[in-house]
Amino acid sequence: MKSPNINILPDLKGISHAAAAEFLKIGNAAIEENDRFTVALAGGSTPRKLYEYLASDKYNSDIDWEKVFFFFGDERDVSPASNQSNFKMASEFLFKPLGINKSNIFRWQTEIIDAPGIADQYEKTIRKFFGLKAGEFPRFDLTLLGMGEDGHTASLFPRTGALNETAKITAANLVKQIRSFRLTRTFPTINNPANILLLVSGEGKAKTLQKVLENDFDAEKFPVQCIKPENGKLTWLVDEAAAQFLK
């Protein structure tokens, strides 16, 4: 297997600056080519500094934000106003500071009561935006991802049903480990973008990162090992603390 493209940065700030530069490079190339930039954001805490940087004076004038269209790789089964919501985090640190138009933001409609209904609705949203036929998957210009200490990515957790979904774009994934549903894009979707940036920070992830990158493939145990874009570029952006056990 082609060795993954791993960039090791000193710390989270280094990862976030590198990710901001890549975001803008990929985004401006996409706008140049298609007059729009489609990006699927990651949730959790790692990307927060990246979002802050993109909204800061250092970077915020380097792209035409009106041509950037934001989606979410996954979401918690909570209200968009909840502190657990990935949409709320992105709104606070990216959308509001930049004044992003609502029409450029496509979030999971988590106010729908049941998780499968939320997933179905988001599938429709994505199909409509990309004009997809049955069996086609969206090709985002950029997908941002993180990795959990258990080797999950997006909301594709170890030994959960959504790992095996190959037909749908989205899934409502019952995650027994956290006793709740999570909304997630599926592997065929997550592996279809032109570019993936996978951000991993902190010593808490170091043992898992070493197993993920250097041990045998085990999709059920380490779902993040299944991130292999068919015809796209995967770049890991990890900091020294997370990379400390890599050979």
Residues that bind ligand 6PG (CB under 6 A): 42-46, 73-74, 86, 146-148, 152-155
CB of 33 to ligand 6PG, least distance (A): 28
CB of 48 to ligand 6PG, least distance (A): 8
CB of 74 to ligand 6PG, least distance (A): 5
Identify which of residues 146 and 193 has a Cβ nearer to ligand 6PG in the complex. Answer: 146
Identify which of residues 68 and 145 has a Cβ nearer to ligand 6PG in the complex. Answer: 145
CB of 187 to ligand 6PG, least distance (A): 13
CB of 232 to ligand 6PG, least distance (A): 19
Identify which of residues 49 and 63 has a Cβ nearer to ligand 6PG in the complex. Answer: 49
Identify which of residues 28 and 244 has a Cβ nearer to ligand 6PG in the complex. Answer: 244
Q: Which residue is nearest to ligand 6PG (CB)?
A: 146
Identify which of residues 46 and 192 has a Cβ nearer to ligand 6PG in the complex. Answer: 46
Amino acid identity, residue 179? R
